[in-house]
Amino acid sequence: MTADLGAQLAAAFDAAVAADERVEPRDWMPEEYRASLVRQMAQHAHSEIIGMQPEANWITRAPSLRRKAILMAKVQDEAGHGLYLYSAAETLGTSRDELLDKLHSGRQKYSSIFNYPTLTWADVGAIGWLVDGAAITNQVPICRCSYGPYARAMVRICKEESFHQRQGFELLMALSQGTEEQHAMAQDAVNRWWWPSLMMFGPPDDESAHSAQSMAWRIKRHSNDELRQRFVDIAVPQAESLGLTLPDPDLKWNEERGHHDFGAIDWAEFWDVLKGNGPCNEQRIGQRRRAHEEGAWVRDAAAAYAQKQAAQQQTAKPAGQNEEARV
Ligand SMILES: [Fe+2]
Ligand SMILES: [Fe+2]
């Protein structure tokens, strides 16, 4: 490619993105844009599948058949989200195998929130309400992301996430209005999940490495701090209707700003968990590697089946479109 042509393509790309046009897999794009998207989509996909673990921990101990069925559906949805996102990343030329390998070897991350343990049944409610709630706040703007396949995957994911958020809220409401012990269990879960949920939006804007470029490329639409504030403003009245409190003495409405003020986040804890020192980091990645190894026979069988089908179609065609020849 000549330098001239390169500059023309780059200018056309910038203009298309600025005009809110969608970038599709076959379109020319800067290598940095491609790499940045792969990094973000991979981290997102990894979070979906690792996120299955803390809640799957409670499937066998759900307090009723109804709760068990809901939780199983939710955990399966998260697997599906992982699949949509790995597929969307494949449209950029990066295979699922390669991304999983990076996850398993620690070269790519998943959301740190999933390195916290689920100690009681109420944690399933707190995760649905707060963690899925924070995920929705983060992800709704990605439905307008400049990269088409990512944006389209996100539309469906957000619909399912909003079901997850509501089931968590409803579960916590039942506990909050239940016995004294149940209410205390719900409150304890909210106390433990509140601050890690605020950390899900990532470091403050002035420390966020990728934010400015992602916003210029319209991969991201709002800054970490903006989204975090939006989440706090949504959560406060919801906590009130649940009859639960949020564990922050500095949380109060600021008339001037038209937003809630909230206390300082413990960023040392965030960086420490990210570095691998959270309560469940080793357990989560160990379980993921084991599941991958134990599932090898399923992948082999599926690949062998696909090969056999392809070979049969090849041999069936010369037989003159005879459907029976394929049987
Ligand atoms: Fe999800
Ligand atoms: Fe979810």
Position 325 pLDDT exceeds 60 = no
- CA–centroid distance, 78 to ligand 2, in Å, is 6
- CA–centroid distance, 51 to ligand 1, in Å, is 8
- CA–centroid distance, 128 to ligand 2, in Å, is 7
pLDDT digits (tens, 9 = 90+) for 109-164: 999 999 999 999 999 999 999 999 999 999 999 999 999 999 999 999 999 999 99
Looking at this protein, which amino acid is placed at residue 176?
A: S
- CA–centroid distance, 63 to ligand 2, in Å, is 20
Please give the average per-residue pLDDT across 242-247, as a whole number. Answer: 98
- CA–centroid distance, 130 to ligand 2, in Å, is 10
CA distance 165 to 173: 12
pLDDT digits (tens, 9 = 90+) for 184-236: 999 999 999 999 999 999 999 888 777 788 888 998 889 999 999 999 999 99
Residue 327's pLDDT is what? Answer: 46
- CA–centroid distance, 2 to ligand 2, in Å, is 46
Query: Residue 134 CA: which ligand is closest?
Result: 2
Tell me the two tokens of residue 88.
């969307």
- CA–centroid distance, 303 to ligand 1, in Å, is 27
Average pLDDT, the chain: 93
- CA–centroid distance, 1 to ligand 2, in Å, is 44
Task: List, as ranges, residues with CB under 5 A of the ion ligand 2.
Answer: 132, 161, 164
Residue 319's pLDDT is what? Answer: 54
What pTM, to 2 d.p., does this model score? 0.91
Residues in the chain, overall count: 327
Query: Residue 154 CA: which ligand is closest?
Result: 1
Please give the average per-residue pLDDT across 70-85, as a whole number. Answer: 97
Secondary structure of 55-104 in the HEC alphabet? HHCCHHHCCCHHHHHHHHHHHHHHHHHHHHHHHHHHCCCCCHHHHHHHHH
- CA–centroid distance, 209 to ligand 1, in Å, is 24
- CA–centroid distance, 312 to ligand 1, in Å, is 37
Residue 1's pLDDT is what? Answer: 62
